[in-house]
Chains A and B, each alone.
Chain A
Amino acid sequence: METLTPLAAVILLFLAVGIGFIFVHLVAGKFIRPSKPDAEKKTVYECGEPTIGSAWIQFDLRFYVVALLFVIFDVEVAFFFPWAEVFGKAQAVASAVMPADDDMRGWLNYGQKALALIPNTPENATTRRDFAGMGDLSNVPEGSKQATIDKWKRAFHANEDVGRQLMWVSLAEIVVFFGVLLVGFAYLWRRGDLEWVRSTLAERPASGSAPPPPSNGVGPVAAPADGVLVGAGTPTTV
């Protein structure tokens, strides 16, 4: 086998030390700790009370609903992050102040900002080289220094427009993205998925007028069993 790259070697060493650390401690503990299993010691802990039934009951399905919604909107937020990065860089370029003619430091900074927006593909190689070279007049012959600086200024003005365009386009895109997800959010809000406690009393029949007034003191047609609050500790059907 050929020698490992340094990165692979580091990762393997990390894994080996981590696994070794755990297993050495577990094995040493196995020898050192007392082992006196007992029927009473192995009973299930319930604050000292004797347990009633098994702990393997069905979990409340509302937790599933909440978890599902969380995952969806969390992934949405995850998509916000790369957008925010690009938007920030575009904004940096669009709102940059043109450095003075002799401010090489300023030109270097500006070059880096513009470089951050240009992807590293073969077609962009020359443009990237140009921007990377901003602020560096060491390789330029004496006579054409001013020409180079003028070239930079023209690039700057072009970038201003490009940056502003990029900002608006990306803003529109994220608004559309967010809008679609907001529609979904509104839908599930209306549907009642965000309510923790649901009551069937609140759900009136679609074709109904108000229930007839009680004639003999008995309540509305819905039997008392229907008025039970669903979801108050019993497994719900979602």
Chain B
Amino acid sequence: MGWLEGRFEESVITTSLEQAINWARESSMWPMTFGLACCAIEMMATGAPRYDIDRFGAGAFRATPRQADLMIVAGTVNFKMASRVRRLYNQMPDPKFVIAMGACTCGGGPYYKYGYNVVKGVDLVVPVDVYVPGCPPRPEALLEGLMRIQDKVKAMKDLTQGQPLTVPIPSRTGYTLLPPELHDPDPQKALEKQNEFARRTKEKAAPAKA
């Protein structure tokens, strides 16, 4: 709110004004085109006529972060891409929101165990407001995610409370939690255990001689 932020006491005027401002904000959440992988296809389908995200006011996908207030991270985030995701998030003006769309952004998804190049969840990179699980989530699921963001916007109290000053720090590490038979504090022993496991499963998976 700039100068007006957090300045007022709660009264009927300020709450009505807040409601009006929040309604304007939630009815025109312009997403940034951030389709990284397969979830982008479902995002495109959501923008298409059948599931029409434009009826929520969010149909104007902006290519530049300067004009967007919603970042729908749709797709797997690699380590190479993670720095770009963070930089673009930084370049978005406030108030900004993030939807983590798809299993890959929620916690690594199918690449959780063996994906050495995948960031296990985009909330390790940017603070996420709404998680939309699915692989890929249906357009209706993404629309529900958008509606949850709209609820979040409805609950914003800019005039009376102001916005939080700091960005949340992720509490996860992103490393996978391996079961005891694969994990060992000593890295050399852990590697031996994992190789042994891989060899055993490969033997089991060998096709029977006809």
What residues make up the interface of A, taking CB atoms closer than 8 Å to B? 30-36, 38, 40-41, 43, 45, 47-50
Question: Which of B90-98, B112-120, B133-141, B147-155 is the interface stretch?
Answer: B90-98
B189 within 8 A of A: no
Q: Known A-B contacts: A30-B2, A34-B95, A38-B90. Give 11 more (CB < 8 A).
A: A32-B21, A33-B1, A34-B5, A34-B163, A36-B163, A40-B87, A40-B90, A43-B87, A47-B84, A48-B87, A49-B87
Task: Contact check, B90 vs A49: say whether CB atoms are below 8 A apart.
Answer: no
Nearest Cβ on chain A to B28's Cβ, whole angstroms: 13
Partner among B4, B88, B94 whose Cβ is within 8 Å of the Cβ of A31: B4
Which residues of B are interface residues toward A (Cβ below 8 A)? 1-5, 21, 64-66, 83-85, 87-88, 90-95, 158, 163
Return the 6 tightest CB-CB contacts between A and B, nearest first.
A48-B84, A40-B90, A35-B2, A34-B94, A48-B88, A48-B87
- A–B Cβ pairs within 8 angstroms, 16 of them: A30-B2, A32-B1, A32-B21, A34-B1, A34-B5, A34-B93, A34-B94, A34-B95, A34-B163, A40-B90, A45-B66, A45-B91, A47-B84, A48-B88, A49-B84, A50-B87
Assembly CA distance A48 to B85 (angstroms): 7
Q: Are A32 and B64 in contact (CB under 8 A)?
A: no
Which residues on B sit within 8 Å (CB–CB) of A38? 90
Main secondary structure of the interface of B (DSSP, over half): helix
A31 and B3 contacting across the interface, CB-CB below 8 Å: yes
Q: Give Cα distance in the complex from A156 to B26, angstroms.
A: 71
Least CB distance from B62 to A in Å reads: 12
Chain B residue contacts of A40, Cβ below 8 A = 87, 90-91
A38 to B87, CA, bound (A): 12
Q: State whether A32 touches B2 (Cβ < 8 A).
A: yes
Give chain A residues whose Cβ lies under 8 Å from the Cβ of B4: 31-32
Q: Are B90 and A45 in contact (CB under 8 A)?
A: no
Q: Is there contact, CB below 8 Å, between A31 and B91?
A: no
